[in-house]
A and B are shown apart, each in its own frame.
Chain A
């Protein structure tokens, strides 16, 4: 079939909201774009285990310990679904992992910030998982079938994480003066990086227009960021915390909050590897990979021995 005809079938499917499936023809750039996006997403889940994982052994109650452990484990599960979705596009997990470890593939920059206090676990759940949901709910309708289906499973768990995070902060805000200060301090540190999670402004986002056309993305970065600000501002009131933005105020005309300028220098600086924890995060992934090498080899060797016995 000539390419034009294949393209037409592809475009028709997008038009009619029919999902693109692994065996369907798709433009090279659509594939490349999705591999990049799903890979980045998967890596974010895996690297995202690290900052919160540091608090499993220090969680302040048995209930918190169990919930945090379950949460971090969920993130590993998300990584697994996403790697599997990317693999349907013809890239292997080893290749993706290699891209992560060599710095060729990116992951969400938010995980390059440190978790300094227990309140950070609350702030991450509330804001980081909250922003993730904002990004991911529309992805449940993304045009590529395996990605959309992975997102449906992921989103259910993310909203659970978000509520748990909020509840951690609520407990702190109702607690002692020190606990409330801890919560405010965490919000001060996590607020702006969370807004950056939606990516550059629309006029500065090279992939957005094409991704919208392909129906990979359904909303622009700025649209999603605005929704996030509106929701979180109201939730912060419930907590009794102050969002660290002097320019944040209700705009009656637009029926939404105006907010201050994001420090994009900081954003690009962290994206380009100079955040507070970039090196540490990748070093932890490399260490797990290298320490695990002999284990994977042993598992393979044993599996092939068993296979040979069966064959013989």
Chain B
């Protein structure tokens, strides 16, 4: 514990940890909006399951971040009492679900990203991050398989499903670039061997996306997503995140200081 303490005073991956937590929480929160409204009962259960996994991952990261911060910080104070501009998730995860095609494609892009990210994060010099990554990777492996299967099914299903997933691609592609553009804290922790250099996983990500798109009879997406700097990671969000937080944080804000 004390030894650990010396380490973190110089290299606390607090922001990095929050970024990973926020990604999982906001994605999980979005997916949970499907619960009770899925296109078939089995898939309602499956998507709720993935939402649960992601919320579980976020809790692991938040708890670790809270421990790093100290001063009475908890997983809930981090999730429920920060403003939108303090959230560090990528914009992709805060976008509205749209139809099943858009949700699936968003999850597929995100799961592919998490899959390669966690594979590398396992090697982090930070034991906690490494342990969370290892546990999460098992879940994400399933998320990636499930969402890949759906991308293929929709791409190679009916004319309508093919059209819908192409529309989803048009809407989402621009947001994929942010995943591989490191924020200041990602650069910092990648250099310290605590975090992952996200630009290094782009090749694998592209390969996977192309492989699944080919099987789905979808055209290979091209062009870089979104400009030269990262947005959500640095706290610059769309109005959608505010709407999410307004709902999510409402009780904690309305009744400050209560136990629930």
Contact = CB atoms under 8 A, between A and B. Distances in A.
Given A66-B55, A69-B35, A294-B160, A80 B258 contact: no
Contacts of B100: 291-292, 295
Nearest to A182: B255
Contact of A76 (B33, B45, B152): B45
A57 B36 contact: no
Contacts of A176: 255, 258
Interface stretch (B7-15, B75-83, B120-128): B75-83
B161 interface: yes
B247 A301 contact: no
B208 interface: no
A90 B13 CA distance: 59
The size class of the interface chain B forms with chain A is 35 or more
A305 B156 contact: yes
Interface stretch (B46-54, B176-184, B199-207, B220-228): B46-54
B34 to A, nearest CB: 9
A272 B160 CA distance: 38
Interface in A33-91: 46, 49-50, 53, 56-66, 69-70, 72-73, 76-77, 79-80, 83
A76 B51 CA distance: 15
Contact of B41 (A62, A63, A69, A79): A79
Interface stretch (B56-64, B135-143, B187-195, B232-240): B56-64
B38 interface: yes
A175 B258 CA distance: 7
A19 to B, nearest CB: 26
A303 to B, nearest CB: 8
B32 A56 contact: yes
B252 interface: yes
A178 B260 CA distance: 12
Interface of A: 46, 49-50, 53, 56-66, 69-70, 72-73, 76-77, 79-80, 83, 118, 168, 171-172, 174-176, 178-179, 284, 287-288, 291-299, 301-302, 305
A46 B258 CA distance: 32
Given A298-B157, A302-B156, A58 B248 contact: yes
Given A61-B76, A66-B59, A296-B40, A301 B157 contact: yes
Given A60-B251, A62-B62, A80-B41, A297 B160 contact: yes
Interface of B: 25, 29, 32-33, 35-45, 48-49, 51-52, 55-56, 58-59, 62, 75-76, 79-80, 99-100, 152-154, 156-158, 160-161, 164, 244, 247-248, 250-252, 255, 258-260
A69 B51 contact: yes
A292 to B, nearest CB: 3
B142 to A, nearest CB: 15
Provide the main secondary structure of the chain A interface: helix
B40 A295 contact: yes
Contacts of B45: 73, 76-77, 80
Contact of A70 (B52, B152, B164): B52
Contacts of A294: 158, 160-161, 164
A66 B52 contact: yes
Contacts of A50: 36
Q: Which of B42, B152, B157 has the most CB of A within 10 A?
A: B157
A302 B152 contact: yes
Contact of A292 (B39, B154, B244, B251): B39
B158 A61 contact: no
Q: Which of B39, B76, B80, B156 has the most CB of A within 10 A?
A: B39
B258 A298 contact: no
Q: Which of B40, B80, B164 has the most CB of A within 10 A?
A: B40
Contact of B157 (A49, A60, A174, A297): A297
Nearest to B156: A302
Given A49-B36, A65-B55, A118-B251, A57 B41 contact: no
B260 A61 contact: yes
A57 B260 contact: no
A80 B42 contact: yes
B17 to A, nearest CB: 15
Contacts of B158: 294, 297-298, 301
Nearest to B44: A76
B48 A76 contact: yes
A50 to B, nearest CB: 5
A287 B37 contact: yes
